[in-house]
Amino acid sequence: MNLIRISTRIFPDKGGPAKQAFLLSQYSAKNLINTMNIASLPKSLDKAQRTKINSNFQIYYLPFHAPEDDAPFITKFFFFLKFSVFSFMKILKIRKKHNIDIIHAHSPIPSGYIAYICFKLFHIPYVFTMHGLDYPNSLFLNTEINLTLKNARKTIVVSQMILNYLKTNFALNNIVWIPNGIDLRKYYSVSDLAEKEKIIRKLDIAQKLSKDNFIISYIGYMFFKQKVRGMINFLNAFSLFLDELSSSVDKNKIKLIFIGDGPFSPLLKNRIKNSRHQDSILFMGKRKDVEDFLAISDLCALTSYIEGNPNVILEAMASKVPCIGSDVGDIKFMIENTGFIVEPGNIEQIKQKILHYFELSKKERKTLGEEAYNKVKTHFSMERIIKRLLAVYEDPYQLNRSNK
């Protein structure tokens, strides 16, 4: 089977959809699907090129970068036009060498529109994955639904929230829920304090952390103000938690680490600077070694106001780290009884959940971490997700029989 995957970004570019596009292609290739990806150039690269990952997986980078989330509308509009034209031209070139069976397009726009045009012109069936509902305005969202979704052989949604929204408001019968998956091989948990100390040295933060620290990690992009508001809420709750601890507890051994960056990061940095507990809070910025930070963490937090099916929750659970998450998107479904759910913005509730977990015995914490790992292994492992996706690809009604 020959598959074209269209996504505005792909790993190592930032974002959950970019990471998922790469993982899905990687696992599709393992299942002998010839996977050709079209994506804009990651910021870490400066030259458009064809990158061959393996014999069944290659990426065709377009000669420009995707705009930032806070870029002006006119910048995003010109990117929309460039990406559409360059992607379509690339598909024409690929079709000269390969008989394309199916196209898999990922939101955001304009990937779905390109797949729709190819379907109309060349009768190539397509699958569309909707990663979120955060479109520039209702016009773009409605166009995506009425054009892209309604003509797709299958529309995949990664979130139960999106599924419920589409079923409630639109007459669509081609929707299937397939959540984000995770490559469990990448994540791990330290087995003892000696290993924890070794990882801390590897991360070059031995001056700030020690092996006997109780560590809470908060990992997230800071490209939306609502997400940073959630981080600030957690920071405030953390301060109240420290204030409430008895004098017998060494508060200096309790650390909160923020990992991530973005245009709204100064809001968080300023709050950390003015915090009465700033010596207990670390701002690490953007890091490429998130799995190592999770490995040494005792707890992971994501108390945002907006989320879909966040990868960081899966990553923490795969590292046997219980999570505190706000009741938005699919977080409640993901965590269930392996962690803690709070109302968005409820600082007192967040404080109580931190305190509750801190007061658990080591055995109880370990049990909760094991339950988190088993949950993600059973429901969100990439092996499980790819089986469901392959069933969509291999449906005989979706193959491009007319081109064969």
Q: What is the CATH number of the domain that holds 236?
A: 3.40.50.2000
Whether 229 and 338 share a structural domain: yes
Whether 206 and 313 share a structural domain: yes
User: For the segment 59-76, what is each residue's pLDDT rounded down to a tens digit?
Assistant: 999 999 999 888 899 999
Q: How confident is the model at residue 396 (pLDDT cuts 50, 70, 90)?
A: low
Whether 41 and 115 share a structural domain: yes
Whether 201 and 147 share a structural domain: no
Whether 34 and 172 share a structural domain: yes
Whether 197 and 277 share a structural domain: yes
Whether 220 and 76 share a structural domain: no
| Mean pLDDT over the full length of the chain | 94
Is residue 196 pLDDT above 50, yes or no? yes
What is the arithmetic mean of pLDDT over 181-207?
Answer: 96
Range of the domain at 121: 2-181+382-403
Whether 359 and 392 share a structural domain: no
Contacts of 48 (CB under 8 A, 6+ apart): 41, 61, 62, 63, 64
- What's the whole-model pTM score? 0.89
Decide: 341 and 335 in contact? Cβ < 8 Å.
yes
Whether 136 and 213 share a structural domain: no
- Pick from 112, 20, 87: which is nearest to 11 by CA? 20
Is residue 398 pLDDT above 50, yes or no? no
Whether 398 and 353 share a structural domain: no
Is residue 401 pLDDT above 50, yes or no? no
Whether 172 and 198 share a structural domain: no
User: For the segment 202-222, what is each residue's pLDDT rounded down to a tens digit?
Assistant: 999 999 999 999 999 999 999
Is residue 403 pLDDT above 80, yes or no? no
Other Cβ atoms within 10 Å of 401 Cβ, number: 11
- Pick from 99, 92, 132: which is nearest to 8 by CA? 132
User: For the segment 285-342, what is each residue's pLDDT rounded down to a tens digit?
Assistant: 999 999 999 999 999 999 999 888 899 999 999 999 999 999 999 999 999 999 999 9
Whether 195 and 139 share a structural domain: no
Query: Number of structural domains, the chain?
Result: 2
